[in-house]
Structure 1
Amino acid sequence: MAPASRADGIDVRPVTEAEFTDWLRAVSTGFLRVPVLSEEEIEGRRERFVAGRYLGAFDGGRCVATFRSFDQELTAVGGARVRADAVSGVTVHPTHRRRGLLSSMMARDLAAAKDRGDVVATLIAAEYPIYGRYGFGPATWTAEWTIDVPRAGLDPRWAGPADGGRIDLVEGEDVRRLGPGLHARLCRRQPGAIDRDELWWKWNTGAVRVDPTWKDPFFAVYRSASGEVEGMAAYDVDDNWGDGKQPLNTATVRWLTGVTPAAERALWQYLCSIDWVVRVKSGSRAPDDLLPLLLPDPRAAAITTLADWLWVRILDVERALEARTYEGEGTLVLEVAGVDGLTGGRYRLQAGAEGASCTPTRQSAELVLGLGELGALWLGDESAVRLAAAGRVREERAGAARKADALLRTSRRPWCPDLF
């Protein structure tokens, strides 16, 4: 274990298990939540504690900044799963800003991730301007829709899928049994998806309570005509009535997983058919989700959120670019500017239908870019031509950005369904 470092006289070091409760309270303070936690919440979160992966900054014995990371698997373009260092729980108390505490914790964690052989690091940024200086770039986006059900034009007499499938309401224990296999199928086809461990399923079905405001949701499962589970959704419904005893209820989706278009269609139609529900809030979806196109009137689904979501920091350029597939064929020489000595250099990418190779080279660079820009391009969502127009990447050879787009961009956008 690396020794403690000091920033402005403050100890930056791994948190011991005995300090875990103080660390949790510091996280709550940093995120402007009430720093008083129940014993049930503390013990539920303690199950995730891994020595060395929780960092803190201590001033006179008081935890004033927090940081944690954990092992994650991330789906690259083409379905390969790569090892990721997932960063979360990052806070600095307002009394200790601008003292290099985050930089100290980030440097320690990324160096350890590089030593472990992780291919990338990931995080979901609460604030946009912070993480670019550490080499992270926004690699996926999220969209949320609100559906005006009466306007959508769906058949009000709908009573179930027309494809021979069926939808059933189930309990949390059924979700814990059926959900992991379904999510694994999603991860095999969805770039940007991350794994969900056993504790995730317990937390999100109420088997382990870490949120004092937890309320059990409804769980719906779609089975195809053959009886195979192909979709699942968790949702809440409020209790809102207008004048004249008119129902004005809203169904809010916590998460919805469909591994076939038929499953997605059936689950959205089910949610829009629930008696008394006049609005459906979609929860986090991919920006190019099928949802609006499944409605006779797509304008009934209005986007209420469109924002960056999963950020990626490349730790190993060669392995990252070789892990994914490419929709085109060709060769591209990239000059990647590092930010901390861990990653960077000049690489020759040779991509084709049979796979890709990425090797260090002394050839002249065609495209020069930073680690954050490479992270934004890696899952196929961002455009190198767009970044070049914004002055974020530089062409050393005319047409290099267009060539990069032909290789790197994907026909469907990547999506990360989860917050961590």
Structure 2
Amino acid sequence: MTDLDIRLITPSELPDWLRALNTGFLRPPTPSDEQVAARRSHMDFARTQGAFDGGRCVATFRSLAQELTTVGGAAVRADAITNVSVTSTHRRRGLLTRMMAADLAAAKERGDVAATLIAAEYPIYGRYGFGPATCATEWEIDTHRTGLDRQLRVPADGDGGRIDLVDGAEVRALGPALHERLRASRHGVVDRDARWWEQTTGLAEFQFQPWTEPYYAVYRGPGGTVDGLLIYRVDATWSDAKQPLNGAKVRDLIAVTPAAERALWHYLCSVDWVSTIRTGLRPADDLAPLLLPDPRAARVVTQADFLWVRVLDVVRALEARTYAVPGSLVLEVRDAAGFAAGRFHLDAGPDGATCAPTTRSADLALDVRELGTLWLGDESVLRLAALGRVEELTPGAGARADAVFRAARRAWCPDVF
């Protein structure tokens, strides 16, 4: 059997790497010249690995720099992992394990606090120390059952704000600052670079699907400040009886005030001919259904894990966030890879925390993947203890840790990367 060579790829190998990536994700294998050129323009080849068998790429792996907001609004450096594939002819040969080990070691050396990814398949990444840290929910709204008067002026709550339809150029000018405001207030949100806004507004090509211009709406508060942005597309479905049955699909809805959130949802529910709305992936505690007079007009169509987190630096991760109530805990963190293993004393509270290695007896013992699940405050320590995934070593420590770690709102990551 030919030796398998795992290494960083060179720019000249990008077409073969993309062919392997397309194969793994069940897309047409051969990339176009335009796809290769678009990728080459922004690829960081120092963070792009490939596995080669006889000169042919059979596995892919890439990471990129990311900032992730934790509880309390502080952002930490993260290693965002993406484009992971292993060709079906080369499974069960340790290719992903070797690429993951190299990437995480490099991230630890760089000083990244955590690694992140969106898991296409659930069972794979726990063995590398990742735990599901956010979940995503999508609703389908029957606009005719919302209880809203679709003839009312929008926004109709008299707050003095307004909704304007804008174009892509205005979104590129207004969107980044708005998103930074969101990122400072909602844990789980990751940063968006200029390319994200270019792809979302058609200025840069998205490699794997044709561009269709969406609609863009912004909400301006009474003082004229942009407090919300909605991006959506609408299909062209009509019934045989010549009745409009158009469906709207939300690409992005971000709002930094309750008034903006309410106005944008009410606006979309009032668009003529739109019978159903897919909300896109929202936090599990999203306000959208409860903003409707009849919340039953919204039914859940997707409920799943979303952002996965792998803690690399326990001290910096735990010190970066705030905590619901004061509390002191000693955590025994197990990490087979060694990046985050140790015993740590956490002294936490609403104003922040201190964390340091310690030799004191542990109150709780858990694997690093459970620490990743708990870090953004979206899971219960007591639930994990009931599942045998957190070990309570001091009586009552589980309930104490649950009160300390949980956040008032659910963590939310709006973006696939």
**1:344: Cα distance to partner?**
0.7
Partner of 1:250: 247
Q: TM-score, structure 1 length as denominator?
A: 0.97
Partner of 2:13: 19
Structure-2 separation of matches of 1:51 and 1:282: 36
In structure 2, what residue type is equivalent to 1:186?
L
SS at match of 2:46: coil
Partner of 2:124: 130
Partner of 1:273: 270
Structure-2 separation of matches of 1:215 and 1:47: 22
Q: Deviations over 1:272-312 (max 9, x none)?
A: 10100010110010000000110000011000000000000
Q: TM-score, structure 2 length as denominator?
A: 0.98
Partner of 1:195: 191
Q: Deviations over 1:186-243 (max 9, x none)?
A: 0000100000000111111110112442211111111111110000111110011113
Partner of 1:3: none
Structure-2 separation of matches of 1:160 and 1:12: 57
Partner of 2:167: 171
Partner of 1:210: 206
In structure 2, what residue type is equivalent to 1:73?
E
Structure-1 separation of matches of 2:180 and 2:152: 30
Matched, 1:264 2:258: no
Q: Is the 8 A contact 1:40 1:210 kept in 2?
A: no
In structure 1, what residue type is equivalent to 2:356?
T
**1:40: Cα distance to partner?**
2.3
In structure 1, what residue type is equivalent to 2:408?
S
Matched, 1:50 2:44: yes
SS at match of 1:369: strand
Partner of 1:184: 180
SS at match of 2:124: helix
Q: Is the 8 A contact 1:133 1:339 kept in 2?
A: no
Partner of 2:341: 344
Q: Is the 8 A contact 1:380 1:409 kept in 2?
A: yes
SS at match of 2:45: coil
Bigger drift between 391-400 and 75-84 goes to 391-400
Bigger drift between 157-166 and 254-263 goes to 157-166
Q: Against the structure 1 CA distance between its residues 252 and 354, is the aligned structure 2 distance closer, same or farther, given a 3 Å change threshold?
A: closer
**1:8: Cα distance to partner?**
7.7
Partner of 1:4: none
**1:152: Cα distance to partner?**
0.7
Partner of 2:305: 308
Matched, 1:108 2:102: yes
Matched, 1:394 2:388: no
In structure 2, what residue type is equivalent to 1:415?
W
Structure-2 separation of matches of 1:243 and 1:369: 58
SS at match of 1:112: helix
Structure-1 separation of matches of 2:349 and 2:161: 39
Structure-1 separation of matches of 2:200 and 2:322: 33
Matched, 1:382 2:346: no
Structure-1 separation of matches of 2:39 and 2:219: 31
In structure 2, what residue type is equivalent to 1:107?
A
Structure-2 separation of matches of 1:19 and 1:323: 39
Q: Is the 8 A contact 1:147 1:280 kept in 2?
A: yes
Q: Against the structure 1 CA distance between its residues 8 and 182, is the aligned structure 2 distance closer, same or farther, given a 3 Å change threshold?
A: farther
The structure 2 residue matched to 1:403, chosen from 397, 400, 405, is 400
Matched, 1:325 2:319: no
Q: Is the 8 A contact 1:381 1:413 kept in 2?
A: yes
Partner of 1:68: 62
In structure 1, what residue type is equivalent to 2:206?
V
In structure 1, what residue type is equivalent to 2:178?
L
Q: Is the 8 A contact 1:73 1:81 kept in 2?
A: yes
SS at match of 1:48: coil
Q: Is the 8 A contact 1:42 1:210 kept in 2?
A: no
The structure 1 residue matched to 2:72, chosen from 72, 78, 83, is 78
Structure-2 separation of matches of 1:105 and 1:402: 38
Q: Is the 8 A contact 2:311 2:372 kept in 1?
A: yes
In structure 2, what residue type is equivalent to 1:68?
R
Bigger drift between 128-137 and 36-45 goes to 36-45
**Unaligned stretches of 5+ in structure 1?**
1-6
Structure-2 separation of matches of 1:318 and 1:381: 19
Partner of 1:241: 238
In structure 1, what residue type is equivalent to 2:101?
A
Q: Is the 8 A contact 2:221 2:227 kept in 1?
A: yes
**1:30: Cα distance to partner?**
0.4
Structure-1 separation of matches of 2:311 and 2:377: 14
The count of aligned residue pairs is: 414
Structure-2 separation of matches of 1:128 and 1:339: 20
Q: Is the 8 A contact 1:17 1:51 kept in 2?
A: yes
Structure-1 separation of matches of 2:229 and 2:276: 19
**1:245: Cα distance to partner?**
1.1
Structure-1 separation of matches of 2:242 and 2:340: 63
Q: Deviations over 1:367-420 (max 9, x none)?
A: 000010000000000111000001111111111111111110001001000000
**1:255: Cα distance to partner?**
0.9
Q: Is the 8 A contact 2:11 2:45 kept in 1?
A: yes
Structure-2 separation of matches of 1:29 and 1:179: 34
SS at match of 2:182: helix
Structure-2 separation of matches of 1:327 and 1:210: 41
